[in-house]
Amino acid sequence: MASIYRRKKGGNFYITYWARPGQRRTVKGCKDRAATEAYARKLEADAMLRREGVIDVKADQYARAEARPLVGKDAEGKVVGGHLADFRAALLAKGTTGEHATLVTVRAARIVELTKAERPSALAPSGVQAAIASLRDGGENLSLQTCNHYLRAIKQFSRWMWRDGRTREDALAHLAGYNVALDRRHDRRALTDEELARLIAAAEQGATVARMTGTDRAMLYRVAVGTGFRANELRSLAPESFNLDADPPTVTVQAGYSKRRRKDVQPIRRDLADLLRPWLAGKETGRPVFNMPDKPIKLIRTDLDAARQAWLKEAASNEQRNERRQSTFLAYRDSSGRVADFHALRHTYISRLVASGANIKVAQELARHSTPTLTLGRYAHVQLVDQTRALDALPAIAAPRANDAALAATGTDDAAPAADGSVPPARSALSARRRPGTPEAAVSGQDVEGKEDGRKRAQVVANATTCARTSTYVNGAGGGIRTPNPRFTKPVLCR
């Protein structure tokens, strides 16, 4: 039985009733007691119909979700309420980092803002497509890759609402992303071994950049190329992340900072472990070993420029210096438009793995990719020297022998006798069958004449066991020529 009460004199009445067994709910009524009692009777009747299965329980759940806004923002524009705030909380509860959860939520909120959708039902596929197109073709002029990031964020939000029972279906499930190959603005390249060595040397000799000393930057580049870790994964490393005395030495990234949300234990080379051991001795336990800025592009661009300038100064003459200026060695962007930013160090790591001859499964596991297509298709870059090495491994095309043409003209393909006087093997039956004019060729329909009597005559010869063709090696015939005995090829003798 519902109970009706008033919290303060002259205020609204409140209703407390059993929504379902074991769950009591309190809802706000109105100032008129009779109207509030009528509302209480309706709530009790609906609760009874839900218990009896007459009313769909989920319909009430969808109705409550529809009544909430998609996004609620404060005066500063931050998401503070609505379904998007719940979505961000769900991402954090799942173990997503706060930075990534905020990034996905902000992107989804941007699409919601462009579609002008206020309720879940208003988030239509056509509106989302138009919003993405405005990001691509409007004033922001975003690349197709960035547009796909926004599309994945809003699709992830829509899928979460459906799985959480807030919508009847995932309305955006069928939306597909753009083909990013049509608009590549930030393709990365792999550094060569010489470029990498000069980059590390320039960092060690360089001044402090973005609060990172030259020594720390050089070690950062070594660890990045020696592990293939991403910037956020490198930023999370502490002294206890390194196990340099293990066999083999390893570096561990905790699941909360790994892109695939797993604890990654990455093996490293022993020479890298020997360099890390004295460098880690002065680092504080529990603190990050790399004081990296939010965008480490400034670090590598500074050191790349310093390394290139040093390389240009090493030119022996003005002509050589001008020639080096025309090249893209140690340049941030090469002649193909590919860039060497900080993430290019991961491309370098995977490209070196593939160039070392590691099989694709090992390269995929060390790269920590879900599919080998990503390892080979996007991250493995083939240098010109690798192509040349592969071509050099091909067998040479042998020139024809001097007597091959003469042997072919006689209709035979026997080799010359060996130096020890042994007789070479007879010509294969396949080559004999293919020579026009032979009984076998006539039977198979390859006879030049193609006459019916010729086929019959050849069949008689082939079936007569006493008329089988024999081969004789004639001495002094320049290596032996197989000559059939003409007496056994005349049909009249075989009858």
- pLDDT tens digits, residue range 185-241? 778 889 999 999 999 999 999 999 999 999 999 999 999 999 999 998 999 999 999
For residue range 89-99, what is the model confidence (pLDDT) as tens digits?
999 998 787 88
Are 301 and 322 in contact by the 8 Å Cβ rule? The answer is no
Read off the pLDDT band of 391 (50, 70, 90). Answer: low
State which CATH number among 1.20.950, 3.40.50, 1.10.510, 1.10.150 fits the domain covering 80-182: 1.10.150
Burial 308-324 (b: 16+ CB within 10 A, else e): beebbeeeeeeeeeeeb
Dihedral sign for Cα atoms in the order 361, 343, 251, 245: positive
Dihedral sign for Cα atoms in the order 65, 67, 71, 76: negative
pTM of the shown model? 0.58
Mean pLDDT (the chain, rounded): 79
> Domain spanning 186-387 has what CATH number?
1.10.443.10
Burial 297-306 (b: 16+ CB within 10 A, else e): eebbbbbbeb
Q: The tokens of 212 are what?
A: 């990172």
Q: Rounded CA gap, 91 and 6, in Å?
A: 40
89-93, 296-300, 446-450: range with lowest mean pLDDT: 446-450
Given a cut of 80, whether residue 389 has pLDDT beyond it is: no
For the segment 100-104, the average pLDDT, to the nearest whole number, is 90
For the segment 455-477, the average pLDDT, to the nearest whole number, is 46
Given a cut of 90, whether residue 289 has pLDDT beyond it is: yes
For residue range 52-79, what is the model confidence (pLDDT) as tens digits?
766 665 777 888 888 889 988 776 666 6
31-40, 342-351, 477-486: range with lowest mean pLDDT: 477-486
Strands 250-253 and 264-267: antiparallel
Check residue 3 and give its pLDDT: 84
Check residue 306 and give its pLDDT: 95
5-14, 317-326, 438-447: range with lowest mean pLDDT: 438-447
6-20, 150-164, 368-382: range with lowest mean pLDDT: 368-382
Top-confidence residue, 409 or 184: 184
Read off the pLDDT band of 50 (50, 70, 90). Answer: confident
Check residue 379 and give its pLDDT: 67
Given a cut of 50, whether residue 432 has pLDDT beyond it is: no
Q: The tokens of 247 are what?
A: 């066999």
Given a cut of 60, whether residue 426 has pLDDT beyond it is: no
Check residue 154 and give its pLDDT: 96
For the segment 351-368, the average pLDDT, to the nearest whole number, is 86
Given a cut of 50, whether residue 477 has pLDDT beyond it is: no
Check residue 400 and give its pLDDT: 63
Share of the chain above pLDDT 70, in %: 73
For the segment 139-165, the average pLDDT, to the nearest whole number, is 91
Are 494 and 467 in contact by the 8 Å Cβ rule? The answer is yes
Top-confidence residue, 492 or 293: 293
Check residue 468 and give its pLDDT: 43
Top-confidence residue, 410 or 300: 300
Share of the chain above pLDDT 90, in %: 42
Q: Rounded CA gap, 147 and 182, in Å?
A: 13
Given a cut of 50, whether residue 136 has pLDDT beyond it is: yes
For the segment 337-346, the average pLDDT, to the nearest whole number, is 90
Check residue 51 and give its pLDDT: 75
Read off the pLDDT band of 429 (50, 70, 90). Answer: very low
Domain ranges of the chain: 3-55, 80-182, 186-387, 411-494
82-91, 165-174, 400-409, 483-492: range with lowest mean pLDDT: 483-492
Check residue 134 and give its pLDDT: 92
Query: How does DSSP assign 299-340, residue by residue?
Result: HHHHHHHHHHHHHHHT-SSHHHHHHHHHS-TT-SB-TTS-B-
Given a cut of 50, whether residue 36 has pLDDT beyond it is: yes
Q: Rounded CA gap, 374 and 368, in Å?
A: 10
Q: Rounded CA gap, 411 and 239, in Å?
A: 79
Q: Which range has the top average pLDDT, 4-18, 67-81, 433-447?
A: 4-18
Check residue 324 and give its pLDDT: 93
Check residue 155 and give its pLDDT: 96
